[in-house]
A and B are shown apart, each in its own frame.
Chain A
Amino acid sequence: MGITFRKETFRDDFTFKNSPEHIRRFPFPFHEDSYMYAVNIEPHVLGPKGSVLENLIDVDEHYVAEMQDRALVLAEDPLRCQSLPHMTLAGWDLLELLMEQQAVGYPEHFTLSRDGDKWRWINRPLGIDDSFTFGDVSTLPYGPMEYITRQSQGDFCILDQRDGNLWMDAGMVTTQADWSLDFDIGMNFFEWHAPVPLAHEKGIFTRALKFLTNIQQGKPARRLNWTMTINPRLDTSPENYHKWGPDRATVTPENVGDKVHLRVELQSFWRLPRSNGIVFPIRCYLIKMDELVTQPKWARRLHRVIRDLPDELANYKGLTRYRRTLVEWLSKLDDGSPTSPGFGPD
């Protein structure tokens, strides 16, 4: 068995799609017919088989293509991966976490063997078989964080914890929803969240920080966040705004189903044992409207959520330009009947 990895692109000809099984496992983020910020954090524990929570670090059919896209982004812009000098130990913590989780979750694809500090890592989908000394940077082709995050889906921010705050001191960020690691590096929790509207006034960040600084080893937590993206583009960074920003003006009633994608981030938070830092994986899932509306409940609910979204939020998420076209298109799939509680399809 094992995953059949798709050959697809997240740029140029945009051949990315989800298989029918992947549509059903999509982490739809709305548990009710409206949306407002909340500190929607819960323990990151295993979920049902066949869901994206079947393993705590999810690997799916897009793995190989996503890693190829990451390599392209890094070749053009090496500053998408940065680690301040005091963060190397945390990089080793992350390498251990991702190797262990991927090897446990997908033994047919990944194998980790450890003998003291002599480690061997086999990544079959990417054709990697490396032996190295844990803790010795000179035995790997990249620093520990870069090495393992070139082989792990999702963006990764490593946060240093000190002075009762969290500091964005390392990260691999190539699949982001319009924020820049190069801009945020070295900032604290309040500084890098400064652009978010409404949430500061609600005291959400103060409470969230208090929770995050108390995350304990062996007890990770998670939350979902969402936005929308035109075309299945992973790299919607400020650095490349000139490439993807204009896409938002290309949405027409005819192409909504193919072009408009719901973009969901499964964000998790883990205490790192040696460095006492926190790693914050941001795993991005994309689904185009044509795929999403194959689940009638999701179609009805998404229509109501986007229609009723406060303008500040719609603006912040960059939906304003095509929101009316999208709502119009979705409205045809909403007969007004009630939706069942919970996230999953009916």
Chain B
Amino acid sequence: MSTGTTKLDVVVSDVVPVNELVTRFHFRRRDGQLLPTFSGGAHVVVEMRDGERTRLNPYSLMGSPLDTREYTISVRRDDVGRGGSLFMHRHVRPGMEMVISYPVNLFSLDLRARKHLMLAGGIGITPFMAQTAQLAAEGGNFELHYTCRTASLGTYADVLKDRYDRRVRLYHDDRDERIELDRLLSSQPLGTHLYVCGPSGMIGWVRDRAAALGWPTETVHFEHFAAPQPGAPFDVTLAVSGKTIRVGEQQSLLEAIEAAGVDPPYLCRGGVCGQCETNVIAHDGKFIHNDHWLSEEEHRCGKKIMPCVSRFEGRSLVLER
């Protein structure tokens, strides 16, 4: 019952620098057909052929879901990251052929909402680009609060202001502007749903305040941009395929499993969707769980691991793969 996504053969139709850190990439289908329709909040996984290595990074679709002639993503350059964003910035050029996944939405709008209250931090703005376009076309009620470090790093702040004017409120760290969160959360009409996407500190803050102020958990939606964290290399035995692999410092466990020719199912590669959940057969050491899928109880008992984001330190680890 493997449920990976179908792949799309695309060509890079444009590469547009947005500011000193962010570049936008446009994709069209190589066969000239329309791309699949998607819903605001969806992401695609972009395959990068980086020498010997295949990188698979998820990026939110930020174009209007109403226009499927092309998909657009925005990538923030991370100079100390694992290299995916640097590859996109340095090597991807117009005309290049690439493979991306079908869209998957793990950060969907709740269409019952009377009002959509959106909080974005930094590059976390991208899913809201698509969601606001979708809602605006249907006459939906939304309000976007967007924090960025400086005006020049406020990716698409000008575009959003132009499109939606007073429905968008900007906050700049360098001007000491802060979201007055408690006041905002306390003054919403009944039936409002809250969406937050940004750094994990921001997501935690918003979720905590919403809970403290009595927001029902099912009205609070969030998307973690959890890239796999680097760590010390470790060895793993894959019991089903009979292989022993080494997970490199900059590599995720999932990537190391794939590099050995074993293909577990995956969707988000960010510890959220649950697809790559893997049974632990034996271990002698300590897990570093970084996912948002397994329960705390499951983290404690050491019988499962999410190889897309989690790591291991210790003498031996045997997985059912």
Chain A residue with Cβ nearest B3: A214
> How far does the Cβ of A67 sit from chain B's closest Cβ, in whole Å?
27
Chain B residue with Cβ nearest A217: B102
> How far does the Cβ of A221 sit from chain B's closest Cβ, in whole Å?
8
Q: How many residues of B contact A (CB 8 A)?
A: 28
Q: Are A219 and B65 in contact (CB under 8 A)?
A: no
Q: Assess whether A275 is interfacial by the CB under 8 Å rule.
A: yes
The residue in B41, B104, B217 that gathers the most chain A C-beta atoms within 10 A of its C-beta is B104
Q: In the complex, what distance in Å separates the CA atom of A42 from the CA atom of B4?
A: 13
**Residues of B contacting A227 with CB < 8 Å?**
none
**Residues of B contacting A86 with CB < 8 Å?**
111-112
**Residues of B contacting A85 with CB < 8 Å?**
112
Query: Would you give 15 A-B contacts (Cβ < 8 Å), ordered by A?
Result: A42-B1, A163-B217, A210-B274, A211-B1, A214-B3, A216-B102, A216-B104, A216-B267, A217-B5, A218-B5, A218-B6, A218-B102, A273-B38, A274-B38, A274-B39
Q: Are B273 and A214 in contact (CB under 8 A)?
A: yes
Which residues of A, 63-91, contact B by the 8 Å Cβ criterion?
A: 84-87, 89
Chain A residue with Cβ nearest B216: A163
Q: Assess whether B250 is interfacial by the CB under 8 Å rule.
A: no
Residue interface mask A203-217, B partner, CB < 8 A = 1? 000000011001111
Q: In the complex, what distance in Å separates the CA atom of A89 from the CA atom of B37?
A: 13
With A216-B102, A216-B267, A276-B108: A163-B218 Cβ-Cβ less than 8 Å: yes
Q: In the complex, what distance in Å separates the CA atom of A123 from the CA atom of B138?
A: 29
With A86-B111, A160-B111, A214-B275: A273-B3 Cβ-Cβ less than 8 Å: no
> How far does the Cβ of A212 sit from chain B's closest Cβ, in whole Å?
10
Residue interface mask B17-35, A partner, CB < 8 A = 1? 0000000000000000000
With A161-B108, A214-B273: A219-B3 Cβ-Cβ less than 8 Å: yes
Q: Are B39 and A273 in contact (CB under 8 A)?
A: yes
Residue interface mask B118-147, A partner, CB < 8 A = 1? 000000000000000000001000000000
Q: Assess whether B105 is interfacial by the CB under 8 Å rule.
A: yes
> How far does the Cβ of A215 sit from chain B's closest Cβ, in whole Å?
7
Which residues of B, 63-81, contact A by the 8 Å Cβ criterion?
A: 65
**Residues of A contacting B267 with CB < 8 Å?**
214, 216
Question: Interface size class for chain A?
Answer: 20 to 34
**Residues of A contacting B5 with CB < 8 Å?**
216-219
> How far does the Cβ of B38 sit from chain A's closest Cβ, in whole Å?
6
With A216-B3, A218-B36, A219-B5: A275-B111 Cβ-Cβ less than 8 Å: yes
Q: Are A274 and B37 in contact (CB under 8 A)?
A: yes
With A161-B108, A219-B6, A274-B65: A41-B1 Cβ-Cβ less than 8 Å: yes
Q: Are A217 and B36 in contact (CB under 8 A)?
A: yes
> How far does the Cβ of A259 sit from chain B's closest Cβ, in whole Å?
38
Q: In the complex, what distance in Å separates the CA atom of A195 from the CA atom of B109?
A: 31
Q: Apart from A42-B1, A86-B111, A215-B3, what are 4 other A-B pairs with CB-CB below 8 Å?
A: A163-B218, A216-B4, A216-B5, A219-B102
**Residues of B contacting A211 with CB < 8 Å?**
1, 3
Q: Assess whether B47 is interfacial by the CB under 8 Å rule.
A: no
Q: In the complex, what distance in Å separates the CA atom of A41 from the CA atom of B275?
A: 16
Residue interface mask A270-313, B partner, CB < 8 A = 1? 00011110000000000000000000000000000000000000
Q: Are B110 and A162 in contact (CB under 8 A)?
A: yes
Chain B residue with Cβ nearest A167: B112
> How far does the Cβ of B300 sit from chain A's closest Cβ, in whole Å?
20
Which residues of B, 255-276, contact A by the 8 Å Cβ criterion?
A: 267, 273-275
Residue interface mask A179-218, B partner, CB < 8 A = 1? 0000000000000000000000000000000110011111
Q: In the complex, what distance in Å separates the CA atom of A216 from the CA atom of B111?
A: 19
**Residues of B contacting A275 with CB < 8 Å?**
39, 111
Q: Assess whether B103 is interfacial by the CB under 8 Å rule.
A: yes
Q: Are B111 and A273 in contact (CB under 8 A)?
A: no
